[in-house]
A and B are shown apart, each in its own frame.
Chain A
Amino acid sequence: MRVPKVGEEIPRLEKEPVGKLQLLRYAGASGDDNLIHTDVETARSVGLPDVIAHGMLSMGFLGQLLTAYAGPGSVRRLTVRFARMVQLGDALACRGVVQGVEEGEGGAVARLLVWAENQRGERVTEGDAEVLCTAGD
């Protein structure tokens, strides 16, 4: 991949709406068995209308955004804040903008602002990342 320019937006990742099956699979694959993500009674007992997505699932989407852009194994750092809950049926768009490029050991490292926004344009998960730009051309 070529070295990006500051201010450039990387290709967006549009995810399918979050469904119950994905939450069940993510609970199993991640080992996060908190029932507020998979059991509606538990969710209601804490005042939620229905189950909510794992914050870590949205962070996983941001990881996917970065590796789709810079390649598997390219992520040096990913730091996020979980700003809002992700509800069932939310379709998240994952986005990133290049903030800086520095020469590090092993090649150029791009620093990016990254976020996942829902269909209402609200940022549910946001943070920043560093990826190594070496693979390919």
Chain B
Amino acid sequence: MEIDQSLVGRSYGPERHEVERGAIRRFAEAIGDREPLHLQGEIAPPTFPTTFRGGVPGLALDKKRILHAGEEYRYRRPIRAGDVLLVVRRVADIYEKRGSLGPMTFIVTAAEGRDTQGELVYESRTTIIYR
């Protein structure tokens, strides 16, 4: 396997993300959402944390070889305009499966976002296939 297995369990961050009203609005508009509180930028739609771009150093992947296999978000409370979130990411798992086209590497990364008081706001889990 070409991906460094020793990355599993390592965590990175925190990254600081300020949730801006305009960013919520543009995200809701791009989806075609009709919920007024999303379109006004008050409350973030459920998949909004995907806008918190941040990578895992050491996982330098060729985008063309990535397939997004799955995604999960769990919330303690909704994300709102004005929130400042501190996001920590970790590599949860790396494993290989044999597919019809040869071996495929699965990479699972997890993230959690806390407010500036340290309260957990959301958790996410991303599974990609690297071919």
Contacts and interface: CB of A to CB of B under 8 A. Distances in A.
Interface of A: 15-16, 22, 25-26, 28-32, 34-36, 42, 45-46, 54-57, 59-61, 63-64, 66-68, 72-73, 75-82, 127
Given A59-B71, A67-B38, A26 B46 contact: no
B64 interface: yes
B98 interface: no
Interface of B: 23, 26-27, 29-35, 37-38, 42-43, 45-47, 50-51, 53, 63-64, 66-75, 77-78
28 contacts: A28-B26, A29-B30, A30-B27, A30-B51, A42-B64, A54-B68, A56-B68, A61-B32, A63-B47, A64-B33, A64-B45, A66-B46, A67-B33, A72-B35, A72-B42, A73-B77, A75-B73, A75-B75, A75-B78, A77-B74, A77-B75, A78-B47, A79-B70, A81-B70, A82-B68, A82-B69, A82-B70, A82-B71
Contact of A78 (B23, B46, B63, B68): B46
A28 B73 contact: no
